[in-house]
Structure formats: structure tokens, C-alpha cells
Amino acid sequence: MECVFTLKYQLLSDDSDMDAIMDRLAEEGCNDALVGVGQPGRLALEFVREASSAHDAIEGAIEDVRRAVPNAHSIEAALAPV
């Protein structure tokens, strides 16, 4: 099943190299996300991810982001309206 959802994070001030963050996200499997960095200190990712359930899709994405940006603090996770 295809799941569409958004994850939003607060970044630490020492993690401000957006090019490096984008590279790490791609390396960790987040190439199925549209990444928004327009708000200083924030990171938003809109995923379109295949998984057996929405829960599995979101949990997998959270783990991918955690590996890529370990110091980011999750502030929101939301499923897109159907």
C-alpha cells in the first residue's frame, strides 16, 4: 500500500549544513520524500512510501531520519488526508 505522510523536526543549531543533511537523508533511504528546509532550524519531509501498513511506513521513515539526523527532535507526524 502507498502511504503519504509528513514528518517534521526541529534541528539543533550545530546541525545547519542542509546540503550535508540532504546527502545523509538520501543515503539512509529517504529518497521517497520531498524535503522542505524553508523555515530556519526546521526540517519537513513529505513521504510517499510503499509499506504493508501506514504504521510500518511511518516507523520505517522515522528510523531512516533518526539515522540520518540523529540529533533532530521530532515535532510532528501526520498522515495525509485520504
At residue 50, the pLDDT reads 94
Q: How far apart are CA 32 and CA 21, in angstroms?
A: 15
pLDDT at 15: 79
pLDDT per position as a tens digit, 20-57: 999 999 999 999 999 998 888 999 999 999 999 999 99
Domain ranges, ordered by start, for the chain: 2-79
pTM over 0.85: yes
Share of the chain above pLDDT 70, in %: 99
How far apart (Å, rounded) are the C-alpha atoms in residues 42 and 58? 19
Distances from the Cα of 70 to the Cα of 4, 17, 26, 60, angstroms: 23, 14, 14, 14
- CATH of the domain spanning 2-79: 3.30.70.3400
Please list the alpha-helical segments (H only) found in 1-82.
18-27, 54-68
End-to-end CA, the chain: 13
Instruction: Say what the pLDDT of residue 81 is.
Output: 82
Name the percent of the chain lying above pLDDT 90.
80
